[in-house]
Amino acid sequence: MNSGCITSAESVLISQQSTSEVATTIEYQLSLPYEHRSRLVASLSPQSRASIAAYYNLSIESVYLKLHTFFKQILPFEAVLDTNIGREIALVEGAREFQSRWLAKHQPGTPSAAPLPVISAACPGWICYAEKTHHAILPYLSSIRSPQQLIGSLIKTMYARQWGVPSHRVWHLSIMPCFDKKLEASREDFAENEIRDVDCVITTAEVIRMIEERGIDFVNLPESQKLSPFETRMTSHAGSSSGGYLHHVMTFAAKSLFGLDVDVAEARGVQVRTVRNNDLMEYILEENGVVKLRMARCYGFRNIQNLVRKLEGKGKVVKRKAGAKEDHGWDYVEVMACPSGCVNGGGQMPPVSSGERVYTPKEWLQHVEAVYQTQAVELPSEERVEALYTDWFGEHRENRRKRCIETRYRGVEFTVGNPLLLGTRW
C-alpha cells in the first residue's frame, strides 16, 4: 500500500472493506427469504489471478474456474466476472479520449479540450497523490474510469435489469492486487443515489485467506464447468501487465491519426528507450525523421515525482536534444504508483518456496509477471464495446454513458483545521 498517501480517515475506509464484511454480508443475506436477498456478484482482476496462479503453480484459467466454483457453489454468489471486461471499455474509451485531445492541440479550428500529455488515471495511489499534493497535474489526467469502476457500474445496471431487482440489491465484491482500490471504491463520484458501484474490495491475499480459513484445499478444488457468456470472457490485453494502456493508445493513435501499423509490444515501427530503468520507458513513433507520437511508461513514486516536477516546472515533459528538428514533449504517460506496476501491488501473494527453489522478491515478481503474460490476448474491439453499451445503457444511452464512463478529479487543500485531509473525495 502507498502509505505515504493514506490518512487516518482513509485507513478507516480500508479497514471497513475486509473479509469480515464479506462474511457478515453473506450471513445476513442467507438469513432472509430468497425473494428479499441481494444478488451477490464478484469481479476478479487479472493481476490477482496471475499472483494466485504463481502461488499454487496453476494456470490462470484454472485459477479463475476454481474461484468460480468457490464463489458460486460454496458461497452464494450468482456471477463471477473477469475485470478485463471493464479493461476493454477503459482501453477503447481511453484511445478515443487521447485522439480527441491530440486533434484539439494539433488541428486549427478543433474544439478545445484538456491539455497534453494525457496521463492515465486507473491507479488510485497515483490519483490520491496528485489530488493532495500536485493540483496543477489534474487537468492532464484521463477522465476515463478504471476497469474496477467500469465493471462495477456495468454490474449494478445490467444485472439489476436482468434479475428484476433494484440496483441496491446487487452487491458487488471486487478482488484486486492493491489496497488503494478500497479507497477508489469509496469515492463519492463512484456512487449514484448513495449506491456504490463497488460495495467491497478485498485483495488477492485476503481472498486466499478467506478460502483457507474455511479449510478448503484450493489446488484440489474442482474447476467450474458452467459459465455464462459474460463469465467466459477471460482473455487478456496486449502490453504491460498494468493494463496495456500505452500499448493500445499508441497503436490506435498511430493507425487513426497517421495510417501507420505498429506493434508497441514487439517494438515494430516504434523506438523504445530506457530513460532511467525499466520503470521509466519512452516510446517514439517517427515518420520520415519527424516525431509523430512520443509516449512513456512511468512506474513508482521516484519516477512519478520527476514527471510531476517537469510538468509543473516546464509544461513539457521531455525535450529533444539541441539541434533536433522540433521540441516535442510526451503525448501520453501510463502511470502506476507501484514499481513494476500492478502485479507488484501490496495485496498480492507473497513469494513461495517451490521444492528446492526459494524465490527472492525480485525473482518472484518476475515469475508472476511471466505467468501473467501466459494469458491469451484479445485485442480491444470498439464494435464489442458499442454492442455492450446498447445492453448497458438502454434507452438513455447518451445521458448514462457520461455518468458511467467518465469521472473527474479535484484538488484537496491542506489547512490547519484539516490536518488529515478530510476534505478529500476518497
pLDDT tens for 3-19 read 445 555 566 666 678 99
State whether 135 and 177 are in the same domain: no
pLDDT at residue 112, rounded to an integer = 67
pTM of this structure = 0.90
In a domain, 33, yes or no: yes
State whether 41 and 120 are in the same domain: no
State whether 160 and 228 are in the same domain: yes
**Which domain CATH number covers 392?**
3.40.50.1780
Cβ distance 143 to 97 under 8 Å? yes
In a domain, 334, yes or no: yes
State whether 336 and 188 are in the same domain: no
pLDDT at residue 417, rounded to an integer = 44
State whether 138 and 264 are in the same domain: yes
Secondary-structure percent of the chain, ordered helix, strand, coil, rounded to 5: 45, 15, 35
Q: Left, alpha or beta for 73 (phi > 0: left; psi -120 to 50: alpha)? A: alpha
State whether 83 and 93 are in the same domain: no
In a domain, 350, yes or no: no
> Distance between CA atoms of 90 and 151, rounded to whole angstroms?
10
State whether 227 and 164 are in the same domain: yes
> Distance between CA atoms of 268 and 273, rounded to whole angstroms?
13
**Which domain CATH number covers 311?**
3.40.950.10
Question: What total number of domains does the chain contain?
Answer: 2
Domain, as residue range, for 62: 3-87+146-235+359-405
pLDDT at residue 278, rounded to an integer = 86
Q: Which of 291, 307, 342 finishes a domain?
A: 342
Query: Which residues, given as ranges, of the chain have pLDDT below 50?
Result: 1-4, 315-328, 416-426
Q: Helix (H) and strand (E) counts for the chain? A: 15, 13
State whether 178 and 278 are in the same domain: no
In a domain, 418, yes or no: no
